[in-house]
Amino acid sequence: MNILEKIIARKKEEIEERKALYPQKLLEKSLFFESEVVSMKKYVSHPEKTGIIAEFKRRSPSKGLINGTASVEQTTIGYMQAGASALSVLTDKDFFGGSEADLGLARKFNFCPILRKDFTVDEYQIIEARSIGADCILLIAAALEPKRLKELAVFAKNLGLEVLLEVHDGEELKKSLNEHVDLVGVNNRNLKTFEVNIQTSLDLGEAIPDTFTKISESGIADPATLVQLKQAGYDGFLIGENFMKTIRPHQAAYNFMQQYRKLLAASKGQVAV
């Protein structure tokens, strides 16, 4: 099995374990379950914001341990103060070192859109996402049949959540895009080989209808790349490892965003404020 297949196989086991520990009726009693959702689509595409979705990620299958000491509270608050438009929080434990508690903490300290970054394959996970304070869920085209993906998107929308569809190529985009999706993310990292290429986003940009908010994900390490992606029609940029690999992720995010603002302003013949 490739890495994605291993993750999905383990995820299905994990869901059954969690269903036994935290029944759906218990999740629905959460204070967050009926709370108002903050629109990631609006925040990411807002012209006065950076469009950056800053990610809290401890480790990954491809890189191993990225940051084992960063505080969820300090990092996520720092991300937002630095100018991030939204947050992404990994909740997968076995492969990424995350937890539902991490997202809960991020929600406690931040009023902004939060993406639950996980491998969603079951309605239970969507109910769980709502119960821990997420505003948006991720549906990965490479992990789901188009019909099943649409079913999960409809379920999420009925709970008030927004949906980020993640694709890796034109074939996935064509098969999986549906009217219940809010944002389309192009992952520059191949989840089967974990190789990264920004050209993936540049090639797919025009194929995504403008009715969807376009997000470029993974492998973004240079503020100049954001300007290039912005000019290619992207509103949002998911960045995690580039910040998290430093001792102070929030400071790295601040420096990155300051540089990005200057480069973007220069590309428009303006002066950065």
pLDDT at 46: 93
DSSP 237: E
CA distances from 108 to 74, 86, 249 (A): 12, 14, 19
pLDDT, tens digit (0-9, with 9 covering 90-100), for 9-68 = 999 999 999 999 999 999 999 999 999 999 999 999 998 899 999 999 999 988 899 999
Read off the pLDDT of each residue in 214-226 and give the average, rounded to a whole number. Answer: 96
Q: What is the pLDDT of residues 89-139, one digit of tens each?
A: 999 999 999 999 999 999 999 999 999 999 999 999 999 999 999 999 999
Please, where are the H alpha helices in 83-204?
100-109, 123-131, 146-158, 170-176, 199-204
Give CA–CA dist 73/25, Å, rounded: 28
- Catalytic residue numbers read 55, 57, 117, 166, 187, 217-218
CA separation for the pair 53, 204 (Å, rounded): 20
